[in-house]
Chain A
């Protein structure tokens, strides 16, 4: 009997143990599910569906296009973080919140080289409402394998959540001058990032934003890329402070030194290798040469052994104050020497296209991509991005791709000069507009005969 009772007690204890362990195991999955719900519920109300009306020029003709994207409110003043490529060239922006309330928004600032933009809901419209907003996390503490959620409003108003893990935190894209940030590494995730998700938040299970979803890969699966929130926050603060994001330019293209170490048989070599120098740049004027190794900037060592180390060095250079003297420690043929130079503002700047309606063409400033592909030797002029069929510019023989160097013998340095000259000439209406352009690095002449136009 005693024996029997003992057995019952034992069985009971065993059953209780099994029950508890079952309960516990259920609890842990409940935990994850609850975490997802909690995180989602924290962020979802601040998720914004953005519909910008964009100006596009198709063969020189001004058109409008409605595009969509995502974003998220990150302050009670109605500031929204999104991608530059979502609000690029937008004439007006309309935002729909999770509760279906619709507001208009204005663009506070946009930075193409990090693909970060800040817009603000119209305070007149949300006056009195308390706006939901998200908490920003720390992207520097992310770990590969960490569970993340990608939120957005792809393909319309309904919100979506997808889950994945951080696949990589140091994804490097070679700087090809396009929409690729040369200043940061990207967060790679397998959470679905689709068109329309762009600008939406990538969040951790605590409901903190760790990245801005920026791009999926066409024809690839489970490859999404997000901009680290720490960088986005830094850019956003500048934009909200009314600054455009100014980056210093010393004119060096750099590459890692891994192969150079092997070539020299020196595995302790530190620094970055200068691959190329931009013409007439501060670095060229200071006497740097391709093949030099920059070992320190203002006596702080820099080092890029692998490609992934390059964005950090580029950022150090771009964050140098403009026009303040900088000393570079240069290693050349075994000797280290110091070179002094003053960084300048980058000669390439993102500027929206400018329409010359009267002449039937659209121009824009010279970007690095144009500079490289056209084989230019300096940074002066404006680029004709489109010429309208049958209009004056086309009849004068101007073509998309030409670089305008002078108009009526006035040299064009920046797009601003051109805009002013265009407006002046529209007013003064001379008989001729005479252009000197560069076409495939060769000078070319063209003239518009406005007298003919008047007689028509």
Chain B
């Protein structure tokens, strides 16, 4: 027994002497896996229709496998890809000319694979100079054991003024937020360069990445503490993206990560509504709107239904900000899954089975057609635009994606977001018809074009005067 104890002690001491336990050791181990990523962001130009304004950007990259897969923040491509993803301006094009510079100083060309807005990460692939080249990398582990007051290290790159050196900071997790999605907060910190810094636990194992704060302005911001301006460093735990490392999204193969969606607009079941309707569960999600041909509509959900649970997850939502919980639950199901919803309808609890489908593609990734002669670019009319404008899905037309302000089209009053329905009396059904008709019209000499558009829920006629 004593001998066993002695062996145990020796093993314990041995474990403590293992390399990787001092901050310096951790830094040395992690440093080679951090790389500098540079690229050009392409913003659709309104000065030269069909071209891009290129802006050079840098960000921190993390090598995540031996063949040179690099993970960066999804902000490198700030466009929403589908209806359920939050995204920035749709005017941004796919970023190009990626380069990855390793800690050794070696620089490689790289290609952009794709991104996932829910996981907040994007992936790029190093183009090896020799076919059998292998790269240092780091593996992410589960964060179920990580909690408040745990010591962590954050490794990220400083900006150009500091030659992109690694900034390595020991920090303490100050808060753990569970809803609507689990994440860690560190007090009074701002990231040095941008999102995408590597977060390690005390043992030097990778547990997450830093993300930038996002405010959801769809809800009123609470002013109870007057702490709206406080800065936190937010950390996305590895669970957000760990599955993507095995199978990263690939835009070039047209495999945009598609997310499952239910197809509703929703609000929280407030205590007052709960009392009024006589719902026994403490909270829920009220269905406000059903998108046409969405899984929810096909499953015959109704406006006014209260969703109480999805399979085994009970939804005790009482505030609108928490409705994102339902969205996150749905996003975690693979496309095609069948889920069981527990609903409250007409004072009764009922169940409905819903087969989840992929959320519709967003305008940001739709096919485009620039018409520099008239000064605008059009795109295929995607479902997200129809949904946003409460238009029926059989609406025909093309979407005005970009307008040169001083062009004939711009002067005539054509606006980004207009839907073109007719050109010179000819009906525009889709992008290919639009292309054909515009090409025909470009070959004619008529100096005045009459374009019928749908904008702000009203029809308008726009007369494009090519003499101007």
Residues on A lying within 8 angstroms of B by beta carbon are: 253, 255, 259-260, 262-263, 273, 275-277, 290-291, 372, 375, 395-397, 399, 432, 434, 441-449
Contact = CB atoms under 8 A, between A and B. Distances in A.
Contacts of A442: 265, 288-289
Contacts of A291: 452, 461
Interface stretch (B3-11, B271-279, B342-350, B361-369): B271-279
Contact of B458 (A253, A260, A263, A449): A253
Interface string B269-308: 0111101100000000010110000000000000110000
A399 B218 CA distance: 13
A290 B459 contact: yes
Nearest to B271: A449
A444 B304 CA distance: 9
A275 B413 CA distance: 14
Given A375-B390, A432-B276, A449-B275, A396 B461 contact: no
Contacts of A259: 448, 450, 463, 465
Contacts of A276: 458-460
A441 B304 CA distance: 16
16 contacts: A253-B458, A259-B463, A262-B447, A263-B446, A263-B450, A276-B458, A372-B456, A372-B457, A395-B272, A396-B272, A397-B270, A397-B320, A432-B272, A434-B276, A447-B276, A449-B272
Interface string B427-468: 000000000000000000011111010001111110101000
A259 B445 CA distance: 16
A398 to B, nearest CB: 11
B456 A260 contact: no
A260 B272 contact: no
A375 B456 contact: yes
Given A291-B452, A443-B303, A273 B461 contact: yes
A448 B275 CA distance: 10
Contacts of A447: 270, 272-273, 275-276
B357 interface: no
B460 A263 contact: no
A441 B456 CA distance: 13
A444 B288 contact: yes
Chain A binding surface SS class: strand
B252 to A, nearest CB: 37
Contacts of B303: 443
Contacts of A432: 272, 275-276
A444 B271 CA distance: 15
Contacts of A263: 424, 446, 448-450, 463
Contacts of A260: 450, 461, 463
B33 interface: no
Given A260-B450, A290-B452, A372-B456, A443 B288 contact: yes
Interface in B255-274: 265, 267, 270-273
B465 A262 contact: yes
Contacts of A372: 456-458
A372 B270 CA distance: 30
B457 A255 contact: no
Contact of A396 (B270, B449, B450, B465): B270
Nearest to A436: B304
Nearest to A441: B390
A442 B320 CA distance: 14
Contacts of A448: 272
A445 B461 contact: no
Contacts of B456: 372, 375
A62 B320 CA distance: 29
A290 B461 contact: yes
A4 B452 CA distance: 90
Nearest to B450: A263
A396 B269 CA distance: 11
A290 B449 CA distance: 16
A443 B286 CA distance: 11
A141 B448 CA distance: 38
A360 B154 CA distance: 49
A404 B265 CA distance: 18
B272 A444 contact: no
B268 to A, nearest CB: 8
Contacts of B271: 449
Given A290-B452, A397-B270, A449 B461 contact: no
Contacts of B459: 275-277, 290
B68 to A, nearest CB: 46
Contact of B448 (A262, A441, A444): A262
A445 B465 contact: no
B289 A443 contact: yes
B82 to A, nearest CB: 20
A255 B449 CA distance: 16
B460 A275 contact: yes
Contact of A445 (B286, B446, B460): B286
A440 to B, nearest CB: 9
A182 to B, nearest CB: 16
A166 B179 CA distance: 66
B216 to A, nearest CB: 15
Contacts of B390: 375, 441
Nearest to A392: B272
A397 B276 CA distance: 14
